[in-house]
Amino acid sequence: MQTILAEGETCWRTARADRLSVIVDAEAFFRHARTAMMKAKRSIVLIGWDFDTRIDLVPGKSTDGSPDKLGRFFNWLAKRNDALNIRILKWDMGLFASLVRGETPVYMLGWLFSDRVSLKLDSAHPAMSAHHMKLLVIDDAVAFCGGIDMTVGRWDTTDHIEKDKRRRSPLGFPQDPWHDATTCFSGEAAAALAELARSRWQEATWETLEPVESGSDAWPDDLAVGFRDIDLGIARTLPQYDERQQVVEIETATLAIIAAAQKTLYIESQYFASRRIAEALAGRLAEPEGPEIVVINPEGANGWLEAQVMDSARIRLMKLVRDADGFDRFRILYPVNDAGTPIYVHAKIMIADDRILKLGSANLNNRSMGYDTECDVLIEAPENRPETAQTILACRNALIGEHLGRTEHEVAAAITEHGSLIKAIEGLTAETGRRLVPVVMRELTTAEELMAESDIADPERPAGVKYKTAKFLKRRFRRP
């Protein structure tokens, strides 16, 4: 069986993670990240698309005397430990969003000129490109990498309770249910992600950060370990900018995973808007013995312009994929909570069979494949590590179970009973309550047709950069 982990092709670096856990939804991420940061001795590096100093990391549950709000929490950490440096790197365009939504500039202005809690705005990107990586590294020893930003509107539990008061914005407005995911890992892989974080900091600030040796173990006390002693691939998207060359490791990995899937391919993504990815999925669905493919999306995109662009593109690509699905092996669904309210899917996950898991910041849209900065992590189960394969399956079944209001074991039993992932999901889907609902297919208006073909909002590459098929894909996954 061919491996998909190849440095310089599907990933930037492979490194050993002595522990790794998949964390689902921001309630767990914020809580575990807070615990880990309280253990930091020398360094905290936070890199994100956005963050909001006003959010409460543990709504209504902090009992250890530390501040509730993120901004006060960072200042408290720095004050109690003179050896600790906190560095925050934020996409420069995200600053405008912070000011518009009423976030207090007190912390940000202070941190822009501080040595202890240092905030920098990252403008090292092509015009209209976004820095979309979501990284948190503590003492170069424990790292988080996934799809969750420490900002407003992200906090939610796996129950996605209707009108949960803990999910209100800092100004008291209700927030819709939100589904997301990230990873936490330690060991050599965490040190490698720290190296990536330092390189991002250097590109943005021209300041060189040295590796940290603290001897600390910032692993969250109550975070159960999912995987042990595994090789982790770290994959990036970096758009061509100044002297930096185009990096498309995530796109190469995504296409390789689609090509490698044998029986099932489970995907969660905020968008379904990359024609190249859709064509790859369509190609597998046209094969008589190809895999079942399940895509979990939100019901629709957030905001008028985003809905016009991304939803129009999704409908166009849904038709492309369904036209190729002659064997009825494709579903695209969205989750709703017990009250029937759609849950916004922000997670970015791909799981192929019991063999490959990819999780990070990259969506199935053009930007994530070549125009924004992204970071994903990949796990591949070796043939001699059945426990790794079992944990990958457990992660997938738990995700499906969350959407259906079922346990991981109920999902596993249904798949065994039906011999099909799709039939299991449909068999477990109730008519009311927690469930997965088919995304509606409809005809596009003329304006939507034009919008679906436009690359203004969702460009594939920076201007002047041509698309090149990765040699890795040509060598290993060429199909007749």
- For residues 216 and 257, membership in a common domain is answered with no
- For residues 239 and 319, membership in a common domain is answered with yes
Q: What is the DSSP track for 126-189?
A: -TT--B---EEEETTTEEEEES--BSTT----TT--TT-GGG--TTS-----EE-EEEEEEEHH
**Three-class DSSP category at 213:** coil
What does the buried/exposed string (b/e) look like for 53-65 if buried means 16 or more CB atoms within 10 Å of the residue's CB? bbbbbbbeeeeee
Region of poorest pLDDT, from 106-115, 279-288, 463-472: 106-115
Region of poorest pLDDT, from 369-383, 414-428, 452-466: 452-466
CATH number at residue 333: 3.30.870.10
- 271: pLDDT strictly greater than 80: yes
Structure tokens at 338: 């017990």
What's the burial of 410, exposed, middle or buried (CB within 10 Å: 0-12/13-18/19+)?
A: middle
- For residues 273 and 386, membership in a common domain is answered with yes
Q: What is the pTM of this model?
A: 0.95
- Point out the domain boundary residue: 226, 249, 269: 226
- pLDDT of 302 reads 78
CB 247 within 8 Å of CB 237:
yes
Which has the closest alpha carbon to 433: 160, 157, 166? 160
Place of tokens 């129009």: 312
User: How does pLDDT run across 219-253, given as a tens digit for each residue?
Assistant: 999 999 999 999 999 999 999 999 899 999 999 99
Is residue 98 very low, low, confident or very high in pLDDT (cuts 50, 70, 90)?
low
Residue 93 carries which side chain, given as an amino acid letter?
Answer: M
Cβ-proximal residues to 241 (8 Å cutoff; 6+ apart), any chain:
124, 125, 126, 129, 462
CB 416 within 8 Å of CB 349:
no
Q: How many CA atoms lie less than 13 Å away from 305 in the CB half-sphere?
A: 4
For the segment 88-95, the average pLDDT, to the nearest whole number, is 82
- For residues 61 and 179, membership in a common domain is answered with yes
Q: What percent of the chain has pLDDT over 90?
A: 77
Distance of alpha carbon 125 from the chain centroid: 20
For the segment 422-430, the average pLDDT, to the nearest whole number, is 97
Cβ-proximal residues to 345 (8 Å cutoff; 6+ apart), any chain:
179, 268, 269, 270, 296, 297, 298, 334, 335
More confident residue, 296 or 127: 296
- 88: pLDDT strictly greater than 60: yes
- For residues 87 and 182, membership in a common domain is answered with yes
Which has the closest alpha carbon to 148: 11, 29, 282, 54? 29
- 320: pLDDT strictly greater than 50: yes
Tell me if 467 is assigned to some domain: no
- 446: pLDDT strictly greater than 50: yes
Cβ-proximal residues to 222 (8 Å cutoff; 6+ apart), any chain:
32, 35
- pLDDT of 147 reads 98
Structure tokens at 170: 């800092």
222: how many CB neighbours lie within 10 A of its CB? 8
The tally of domains found in the chain comes to 2
- For residues 192 and 241, membership in a common domain is answered with no
CB 232 within 8 Å of CB 22:
no
Tell me if 4 is assigned to some domain: no
- For residues 68 and 194, membership in a common domain is answered with yes
Tell me if 15 is assigned to some domain: no
- Point out the domain boundary residue: 199, 226, 253: 226
Region of poorest pLDDT, from 53-57, 157-161, 199-203, 460-464: 460-464
- pLDDT of 436 reads 98
User: How does pLDDT run across 17-27, given as a tens digit for each residue?
Assistant: 999 999 999 99
- Point out the domain boundary residue: 203, 226, 249: 226
Q: What is the DSSP track for 421-433?
A: HHHHHHHH--SSS
d(CA 153, CA 159): 16
- 479: pLDDT strictly greater than 60: no
- For residues 150 and 238, membership in a common domain is answered with no
- For residues 270 and 221, membership in a common domain is answered with no
CB 358 within 8 Å of CB 374:
no
CB 405 within 8 Å of CB 290:
no
For the segment 140-160, the average pLDDT, to the nearest whole number, is 97
Tell me if 3 is assigned to some domain: no
Tell me if 349 is assigned to some domain: yes
Q: In sequence order, what are the beta bridge partners of 377?
A: 234, 359
- For residues 207 and 79, membership in a common domain is answered with yes
- For residues 45 and 72, membership in a common domain is answered with yes
- 105: pLDDT strictly greater than 90: no
For the segment 196-218, the average pLDDT, to the nearest whole number, is 94
Is residue 462 very low, low, confident or very high in pLDDT (cuts 50, 70, 90)?
confident
- For residues 357 and 437, membership in a common domain is answered with yes
- pLDDT of 480 reads 40
Query: Which domain range does residue 106 map to?
Result: 22-226
- 471: pLDDT strictly greater than 90: no
Tell me if 266 is assigned to some domain: yes
Tell me if 469 is assigned to some domain: no
- pLDDT of 6 reads 95
User: How does pLDDT run across 330-358, given as a tens digit for each residue?
Assistant: 999 999 999 999 999 999 999 999 999 99
Tell me if 9 is assigned to some domain: no
More confident residue, 213 or 390: 390
More confident residue, 17 or 171: 17
Region of poorest pLDDT, from 127-131, 322-326, 370-374, 404-408: 127-131
